[in-house]
Amino acid sequence: MTNFKKEIPFNDLPLLPPRVELETKKVLVKTISASRALAKLNGTMINLPNPRLFLDTIHLQEAKASSEIENIITTNDDLYRSVVADKKNENPATKEVLSYKDALWSGLERLESRPFITTNLCIEIVQCIKQNTAGIRVTPGTTLANTKGEVIYTPPTGETIIREKLANLETFINQDDTLDPLIKMALMHYQFEAIHPFADGNGRTGRILLLLYLKMERLLDIPAIYISEYIIKNKIEYYNKLRNVTENKDWEGYILYMLDMIENTANKSLIRLEKVISLMERMAKEIKTDLPKVYSKDLIEIIFKLPYTKRQFLIDSGLGTPKTVGNYLISLEEKGYLRSVKVGKEKLYLNHKLMEILEND
Ligand SMILES: Nc1ncnc2c1ncn2[C@@H]1O[C@H](COP(=O)(O)OP(=O)(O)O)[C@@H](O)[C@H]1O
Ligand SMILES: [Mg+2]
């Protein structure tokens, strides 16, 4: 038995790996279907002519959803306008979502040169999300409460203890063993949240680690998956499953939840990707017929990279002089492919059909 009490810092949080049977039959069956879904998504992605094209948008969706879990709420319009416009949106929630996306990108970049998830990397991530220099918690007092304000969990306190637990987590993540990587990923997430090393930003950092891990383990070469959408839709369950590990050592229930998250979002990401690609092909064909002088492959890619675009993007891609590309955008709007909006002094163009897919699926 662990000596867990909600109001007392859980310094006895057991180290990884848990000393229970993890690979139960149910877990193994689910691991297979989740892996299959991921492999299918990966295969489709890597066979695209330009697989990185949609990454910005997918990661912004992920950033938005993961932040929304923590009640940092922005709209797609605010978010994408603010990414594209010169004059940055000052809405604090949008800003935090954009920092999240930067944190995810720099984490992924770091993995390219150094394929390990470390305590230092976690600190860099949280500092990037929070745009401050906070590190590991050094003062006691961090608790997790439910919506009624009742304390449901008190993480370990004391920097030495926290660092010890993180060192164990780091070793566990990076060591070779026979555990399936998806099961390891689930264990890693629980442990990180239970250690709760920071005063704030633990949920978001822990979810960034999920994507980093998928990449590190080569389960997804291009981490184009939008996993936090599942947690938003199953948020109460997310909290309950985490709690049930602490209180009842119910690893199986929690691992099954995480595997279902992977399977479900890999499938959904694939369906969404296919919708976007078919819209892109359809629009390319129509624009080619309707506006043959405007059409180019590069132009189509620009208007699908993010839901909003602007003249400068076309200029930067060498599509023509400011006047020429300005006229391209006007023609595209006249024919109903794009819709313009004024943001400050700038004119942005929305690919509303692309936005519809992002909003509705
Ligand atoms: N019972 C629990 N045990 C451990 N971690 C939990 C528990 N309940 C929720 N969490 C995690 O704590 C996160 C919230 O912590 P917080 O530091 O506020 O993250 P953020 O700043 O990203 O909002 C949740 O998203 C979840 O991952
Ligand atoms: Mg928080």
154-174 mean pLDDT: 97
- Asked whether this chain's domains 25-271 and 291-360 adopt the same fold, the reply is no
- Please state, in angstroms and rounded to a whole number, the distance separating the CA atoms of residues 178 and 242: 24
Closest residue (by CA) to atom 25 of ligand 1?
203
The percent of residues in the chain predicted with pLDDT above 70, rounded, is: 99
pLDDT value, residue 286:
98
Cβ burial 42-63 (10 Å sphere, 16+ → b, else e): bebbeeeeebebbbebbbbbbb
> What distance in angstroms lies between residue 202's CA and the mean position of ligand 1's atoms?
6
> Which runs of consecutive H residues, i.e. helices, occur in 175-250?
181-195, 202-216, 228-233, 235-248
Residues with CB under 5 A from ligand 2 (ion): 70, 200
pLDDT in tens, 37-68: 999 999 999 999 898 999 999 999 999 999 99
Is the distance from CB of 153 to CB of 239 less than 8 angstroms? no
Query: What is the domain partition of the chain in residue ranges?
Result: 25-271, 291-360
pLDDT at residue 246 greater than cutoff 70: yes
Q: Which atom of ligand 1 is nearest to the CA of 153?
A: 1
User: Is the pLDDT assigned to residue 162 strictly greater than 90?
Assistant: yes
Query: pLDDT tens for residues 66-117?
Result: 999 999 999 999 999 999 998 776 799 999 999 999 999 999 999 999 999 9
User: What's the 193 CA to ligand 1 centre distance in angstroms?
Assistant: 6
Taking Cα atoms as reference points, which of 32, 103, 90 lies closest to residue 63? Answer: 103
Contact 307, 351 (CB under 8 A): yes
Query: What's the gap in Å between 57 CA and the centre of ligand 2?
Result: 24
Fold of 291-360: Arc Repressor Mutant, subunit A (1.10.10)
- Name the pLDDT band for 2 (thresholds 50, 70, 90): low
Sign of CA dihedral 198, 203, 208, 211: positive
CATH fold of 25-271, please? Fic-like fold (1.10.3290)
- Give yes or no for a cis peptide into 17 (omega within 30° of 0): yes
- What integer pLDDT is reported at residue 3 of this predicted model? 77
Contact criterion met (CB below 8 Å) for 330 and 283: no
The pTM (predicted TM-score) of the whole model is: 0.96
Pocket test of ligand 1: the residue of 239, 240, 258 to mutate, having most ligand atoms within 8 Å of its CB, is 239
